[in-house]
Amino acid sequence: MSASQCEQGDYKAITLSENIPSAVKLNEEQHLVDQQDKGRWTKQLAFVGYGATMGSAIPAGYCVGVMNSPAVFMREWCNQTLIDRYDWHLSETGINILWSAIVSVFLISGAIGSLTGAKVANRFGRRSSYLYCGFFFITSAILFFTCRMMRSVEALIIARLLAGLAAGLSTACLPMYLAEVAPLSMRGALGVFCPIGLTVGVLVAQILSLRTVFGNADQWHIALSLYIIIVLICYAPMKYYPESPKWLYIMKGDKEGARQQLEKLRGNVDANVIKREMLAMEVEANVESQASSYGDVLKDPKLRLPLILVCAFQGGQQLSGINAIFYYSVSIFLRAGLSPTAAEMANLGAGSVNLIISLLGPYLMSRFNRRPLLLFSTFFSGVSLMSFAVMLYFIDYVSWFAMGCVSCIFLYIFFFQLGLAPIPFFIGSELFEVAPRPAAMSLGSVSSWVCNFTVGMLFPTLQEAWGSLVFVPFSIDCALLFMLTKRYLPETKGRDPAQVGPLMANGFKSNIHEVK
């Protein structure tokens, strides 16, 4: 939890409970935060930040991107294995359904891992939850490597399930872990490590799964399992990873243990810096807040519009076409008329553009307001997808439409990363105060995973039935998000949720530009 969230949400909770002594303490904490020294990188902090990200976020992204290039060989292997072992002769539709299930089971277990991540981290600790991620990643990699020699489609499915569980735990626990070991002024810097790690993982997977590397008929199982190397390297020094001082202090009541971990993380700093962080944790531990359940959030009419916005943006992000691009981009480029080699190179280029633009995220979020970024991103993402659909539909009639299709995909990824990619992940924390925030953001997470799963399952079948027109609904989704943003999303950058909330209190009749 950031300092601003602590100030805004906890102060509101204290006001509701009329806890005056705690309010005084909270004001003291704010004064100390304002006086706090600037955070700095230390060897221990860099070790935790880079090691934890490389050991969990990169493998999670790797498992998303690795299924693309060798898909044709894996489909053939699955089909032949079912014939040899069970005498099952699947139709083309049956093979599409099986392949969609193999791709999408990752998303089902990812949802489970994500929704249970907070509970695991609270009960066993941030460091231990990271260890569980490693166990699942290693087990899944072993199954990926051995499924071909065992001639077992079932092992492949189980491996994808375990990898998804690990990825879900990683995306839920890693940002929390990094935020709690970082100094207050550096939480934003470490906070972007997780999404950047995911993007790096996708790109590395795209490179290693090229047909000229490991993504061929004889070595695809190696491509699927290679992430085990980085997992083993990053988890080998596990005992040197510190536990979260905040978890030790607030959840376990271990004040001395928290102090020791802080001293390791901060290095040689003034003793007053440690004292201020310890006092901040003491205030947070003593604050009495009113937690809101799922039922409370769903029933409160004043929270209905912000809840719809959170779920719409997180789910709409997945329905905007980005998953179709990265799960099936090679097949899309092939349909655009590229050769298999050129399609793989275009896929690699798309991953590179995605990574480069994602690195601009911290600058964009600190420089520009949320509304203009989302409006710009959703509008031009929709235009790019619609242009792609039209060009692909008439590709046989105009010679340059093939390259036009490739250009539209690259433009879509560029515009997507400017706002539609990062903002849905944190917009809930700027719309909701601290009490209803966990339930609201969990419901948004459910919306994201469900829509992600829907795209993974339905896209191949719809693509076969509709052809290039399958991208029209993605474009319409972007248009709907544009209209939702323009009409109902208030500007949240630099504003307290207590200021933003009243603007949405009247639901769809709200005037978000009204001055309160």
pLDDT in tens, 109-138: 888 887 776 677 777 887 888 888 899 999
Of residues 241 and 351, more confidence is placed in: 241
Cα–Cα distance measured from residue 37 to residue 395, given in angstroms and rounded to the nearest whole number? 60
pLDDT at 123: 77
pLDDT tens by residue, 386-421: 998 898 888 878 888 878 888 888 899 999 988 888
Residue 465, CA distances (Å) to 68, 332, 382, 458 in order = 21, 14, 22, 11
Contact yes or no for 248/284 (Cβ under 8 A) = no
pLDDT at 16: 37
Contact yes or no for 14/26 (Cβ under 8 A) = yes
Cα–Cα distance measured from residue 22 to residue 389, given in angstroms and rounded to the nearest whole number? 58
> Which alpha helices (DSSP H) does 359-400 contain, by range?
361-367, 370-393
Q: Is the pLDDT of residue 280 over 80?
A: no
- HSE (side-chain half, CA atoms, 13 Å) at 343: 21
Q: Is the pLDDT of residue 32 over 50?
A: no
Cα–Cα distance measured from residue 113 to residue 119, given in angstroms and rounded to the nearest whole number? 10
- 67-71, 125-129, 284-288: lowest mean pLDDT where? 284-288
In percent, the amount of the chain with pLDDT more than 70 equals: 85
pLDDT at 2: 38
Closest residue by Cα to residue 471 from 479, 66, 341? 479
Q: Is the pLDDT of residue 6 over 50?
A: no
CA angle 192, 198, 201 (to 5 degrees): 135
- Which range has the top average pLDDT, 97-101, 149-153, 187-191, 318-322? 149-153
Question: At 7, phi and psi to the nearest 5?
Answer: -60, -50
Of residues 2 and 293, more confidence is placed in: 293
Task: Give the tokens for residue 302.
Answer: 């004043």
pLDDT tens by residue, 367-390: 788 899 999 999 999 999 999 889
Three-state DSSP at 516 gives coil
To the nearest 5 percent, what fractions of the chain are helix, strand and coil? 80, 0, 20
Radius of gyration of the chain (CA): 24
pLDDT tens by residue, 54-68: 999 899 989 988 887
Burial class (CB in 10 A: 0-12, 13-18, 19+), 224: buried
Q: Is the pLDDT of residue 434 over 80?
A: no
Q: Is the pLDDT of residue 33 over 70?
A: no
End-to-end CA distance of the chain: 27
**Whole-number mean pLDDT of the chain?**
80
Cα–Cα distance measured from residue 392 to residue 333, given in angstroms and rounded to the nearest whole number? 10
Task: Give the tokens for residue 363.
Answer: 């600058």
pLDDT at 384: 94
Question: At 513, phi and psi to the nearest 5?
Answer: -95, 0
Q: Is the pLDDT of residue 321 over 50?
A: yes
Tell me which H or E stretch contains 481. Answer: helix 472-488
Of residues 184 and 273, more confidence is placed in: 273
The region that residue 510 occupies, defined by phi over 0 for left and psi between -120 and 50 for alpha, beta otherwise, is: beta
CA angle 373, 376, 382 (to 5 degrees): 130
Query: Which residue, chain included where needed, has tokens 């994602």?
Result: 358
Contact yes or no for 119/107 (Cβ under 8 A) = no
Of residues 314 and 289, more confidence is placed in: 314
Confidence of residue 184 (pLDDT cuts 50, 70, 90): low
Confidence of residue 24 (pLDDT cuts 50, 70, 90): very low
Task: Give the tokens for residue 401.
Answer: 């439409």
pLDDT at 29: 44
Cα–Cα distance measured from residue 98 to residue 108, given in angstroms and rounded to the nearest whole number? 15
Three-state DSSP at 260 gives helix
Sign of the CA dihedral with 54 first, then 56, 57, and 63 last:
positive
pLDDT at 505: 84
Residue 509 gets which letter from DSSP? G
Cα–Cα distance measured from residue 216 to residue 201, given in angstroms and rounded to the nearest whole number? 20
